[in-house]
Amino acid sequence: MPYFDHAAATPVRLEVLEAIAPLFTTAYANPSAGHASGRSARAVLDNAREEIAQLLGAQPGEIIFTSGGTESDNWAIAGTLERGLREGLPRAVVSSIEHKAVLEPAERFQARGVSLVLVEPNDDGEVTAQALGALLDESVSLVSIMAANNELGVVNDLGAIAKTVRQRASRAVIHTDAVQVAPWLDLQAATAAVDLMTVSSHKLGGLKGTGVLLAKEGVRLDAFVLGGAQELGRRAGTQDAIGAMAMAVALRCAVRDREIDGARVAKLRHRFVQGLLALGATETVKAKHMLPGHAHVAFAGLATDELLVGFDRAGLAAAAGSSCASGATELSHVVAALGRDDDVAKGIVRFSLGRTTTNDDVTEALAIVEATVGRLGGIRLPEAARLLD
């Protein structure tokens, strides 16, 4: 069964399972407890924090464990905007193609008086420093631009973006959602560029339900989850030492294998996309800098839902866009932001390859796509041609 939905969730790494299995009998205690068992769990948590900090190019005190990418994003936005309102900075600038975990909390603050400004991507799906720069001024409290888009796979130039923000909105906190880039790209440059960064464990081959909000020293952020003094009083709730260690091991393996895996997966993706193009599909974006595993294509004239159901019946896992929107009939906000024709956009599918994808998976997936598209009546070429205009 070819699995082409790694951007939604990728299998847990064997090394992670091996590393954490013994911990269920040695590090089960509450890391905040004052007894020896608690101290054992605390040691695991501390080691995980130190390793993640080192791999991300941060200090251990800058790593806050959360329940995942969604919470880290929610917190970065809400925590910064609360403070911005108190300090007389009413503007927030966010890209229109952020994950909903960024967009929805930002939208909620509009009722509280935040002026939310959306930066649109260019035709290639990239959010540029140039487009952002025109929207900045000294009343901006928050700029949140994702490191790479989860649907399109397009990578943004965070260095250039951060430079522009520092020049034009010097009081703004810069947040980036690095959930999709973490398995593939060096995050140390991103860490250096921003104030807050979101990372999620399960996209790396760790466990679901663990994430990090990297908050640089000196960045003041209102607490979001209340009810305890954990994480230096910044995030309440019993800490998950085993989940944290799973994330540390997953990140260590990702950093170690990144170059080899990235090159191998990019090659497979190339072969897969060439096969899709030969069947009449079109790539929706042609950005210079893409994540190695993403293939975002349009099957013009066909319905996304029909395609996904057809693929699924034949054993091929793919998605419409973000996983939460999978199977939904409405146009994704990311595709809508590209300003493409609705009919064409209906046949959009995100395939995402990952570390475990093989050449045989690509062969099998292409055969399933060909059979499914054929059964649905084929791609309507005039519409495909329109997309390329």
The CA-based dihedral angle spanning residues 67, 70, 71, 77, taken in that order and rounded to the nearest 10 degrees: 160
Q: Among residues 200, 239, 282, 326, which is the contact residue for ligand PLP, using CB under 6 A? A: 200
Query: Does residue 151 contact residue 322 with C-beta atoms inside 8 Å?
Result: yes
**Rounded to an integer, what distance in angstroms lies between the CA atom of residue 1 and that of residue 165?**
45
* Minimum gap (Å) between residue 13 Cβ and ligand PLP: 16
323 near ligand PLP, rule: CB under 6 A: yes
70 near ligand PLP, rule: CB under 6 A: yes
Catalytic residue among 324, 331, 367, 376: 324
**The two three-digit tokens of residue 50, written as one number:** 């130190």
Residue nearest to ligand PLP (CB): 69
219 near ligand PLP, rule: CB under 6 A: no
177 near ligand PLP, rule: CB under 6 A: yes
* Among the residue ranges 31-39, 67-75, 232-240, 369-377, the one whose residues contact ligand PLP (CB under 6 A): 67-75
324 in catalytic set: yes
Q: Among residues 51, 73, 231, 240, which is the contact residue for ligand PLP, using CB under 6 A? A: 73
CA dihedral sign, ordered 182, 185, 188, 194: negative
Give 92's DSSP letter. E
CA atoms within 13 A on the CB side of 217: 6
Site string for ligand PLP, 279-318 (x = CB under 6 A): ----------------------------------------
Question: Torsions phi, psi of 64, nearest 5?
Answer: -115, 125
Site string for ligand PLP, 3-42 (x = CB under 6 A): -----x----------------------------------
Q: Which residues of 12-48 are buried (b: 16+ CB within 10 A; e: fewer)?
A: bbeebeebbeebeeebebebeeeeeebebbbebbeeb
**The two three-digit tokens of residue 212, written as one number:** 């990090």
Active site residues: 324
Residues that bind ligand PLP (CB under 6 A): 8, 68-70, 73, 99, 101, 146, 150, 177, 179-180, 200, 202, 211, 322-323
